[in-house]
């Protein structure tokens, strides 16, 4: 087990650790072929599980159940889970953190937004008074065992971002995230403000932050990068395209015989068979 310890070790390793946003078991199965770390994105989960925008609809039992399914299928991958504001109440936040740690999550992200909450790259965000958030964060930190806790602020103004990032770095949180950072210069200021505390950067397609490579993020001393939506948005585009094609072909499926990149029943089944828990090597997670 020791999922939290393994993620903490990966974060401490030189370079930026990438975690890929997944929204269901199929996207996670594909992402796991390419990357060692996965991120349960609130944006993606709200879209996939409810068909709703990321504005506070997620219920914590649904997130816990998803994490349980992910961990059973993918025992060796890092698994960071977005828990929004801890589902409003600090006691609920602590309960969810304990449930997720027992389910095998590697870490969680807890934000400082007020309700109604918004995606971190949306307009109209409001944050809790800092002391109120720090009290909730402190309770969560006390309730975990070795789970990695990412403290996130959604402050918008530069000065308030720095003030909060500094406080979060002193809180005992394992990692700090300032979401919706708008420039490389702001990343540098935040990096300096948090000192030795690991820093996380969130990249989301069409979001407010600059698009940066892992090499660029490493040069900026960013320790973790989450990619919230590449799987979701790629699926959106691919499904739309496939169904447009099907309409143009009067409902005739394309001939995929001999095409190396084609996906059919056999290839899909092979992907999913790898998730059957009895096929896993015991002790693979250390």
pLDDT of residue 68: 97
In whole angstroms, how far apart are CA 163 and each of 62, 87, 109, 166?
A: 34, 24, 19, 5
pLDDT of residue 159: 94
Alpha-helical (H) ranges within 48-122 are: 60-73, 90-103
Tokens, residue 171: 């809180």
In whole angstroms, how far apart are CA 138 and each of 53, 117, 151, 172, 240?
A: 29, 21, 10, 8, 45
pLDDT of residue 285: 47
What span, in angstroms and rounded, lies between the C-alpha atoms of 186 and 198? 16
Q: pTM of the full predicted structure?
A: 0.92
Residues 6+ apart with CB under 8 A from 95: 60
User: What digits encode the pLDDT tens for the residues 60-94?
Assistant: 999 999 999 999 999 999 999 999 999 989 999 99
What span, in angstroms and rounded, lies between the C-alpha atoms of 44 and 50? 10
Q: Compute the radius of gyration of the chain from its Cα atoms.
A: 19
Contact indicator for 67, 100 with CB cutoff of 8 Å? yes
Distance of CA 87 to the CA centre of its chain: 16
Region of residue 81 (phi > 0: left; psi between -120 and 50: alpha; otherwise: beta):
beta
pLDDT of residue 110: 97
Distance of CA 107 to the CA centre of its chain: 10
The segments of the chain whose pLDDT lies below 70 read: 1, 118-124, 281-286
What span, in angstroms and rounded, lies between the C-alpha atoms of 46 and 57? 7
Contact indicator for 90, 136 with CB cutoff of 8 Å? yes
Q: Does 280 sit behind a cis peptide bond, omega within 30 degrees of 0 on the bond before it? A: no
Element spanning 17, H or E: strand 17-22
Element spanning 2, H or E: none
């Amino acid at each position: 087990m020791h999922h939290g310890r393994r993620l903490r070790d990966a974060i401490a390793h030189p370079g930026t650790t990438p975690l890929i946003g997944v929204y269901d078991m199929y996207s996670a199965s594909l992402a796991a072929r390419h990357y060692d770390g996965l991120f349960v994105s609130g944006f993606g989960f709200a879209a996939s599980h409810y068909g709703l925008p990321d504005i506070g609809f997620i219920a914590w039992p649904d997130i816990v159940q998803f994490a349980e399914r992910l961990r059973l299928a993918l025992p060796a991958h890092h698994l960071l889970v977005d828990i929004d504001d801890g589902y409003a109440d600090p006691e609920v936040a602590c309960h969810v953190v304990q449930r997720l740690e027992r389910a095998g999550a590697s870490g969680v992200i807890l934000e400082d937004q007020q309700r109604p909450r918004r995606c971190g790259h949306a307009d109209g965000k409001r944050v809790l008074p800092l002391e109120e958030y720090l009290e909730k964060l402190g309770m969560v930190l006390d309730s975990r065992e070795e789970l990695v806790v990412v403290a996130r602020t959604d402050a918008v103004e530069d000065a308030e971002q720095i003030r909060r990032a500094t406080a979060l770095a002193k809180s005992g949180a394992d990692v700090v995230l300032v979401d919706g950072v708008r420039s490389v210069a702001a990343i540098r200021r935040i990096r300096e403000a948090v000192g030795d505390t690991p820093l996380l950067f969130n990249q989301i397609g069409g979001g407010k932050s600059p698009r940066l490579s892992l090499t660029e993020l490493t040069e900026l001393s960013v320790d973790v990068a989450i990619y919230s939506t590449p799987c979701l948005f790629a699926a959106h585009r691919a499904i739309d395209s496939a169904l447009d094609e099907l309409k143009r072909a009067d409902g005739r499926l394309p001939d995929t015989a001999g095409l190396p990149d084609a996906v059919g029943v056999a290839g899909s089944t092979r992907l999913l068979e790898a998730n059957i828990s009895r096929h896993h090597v015991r002790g693979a997670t250390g």
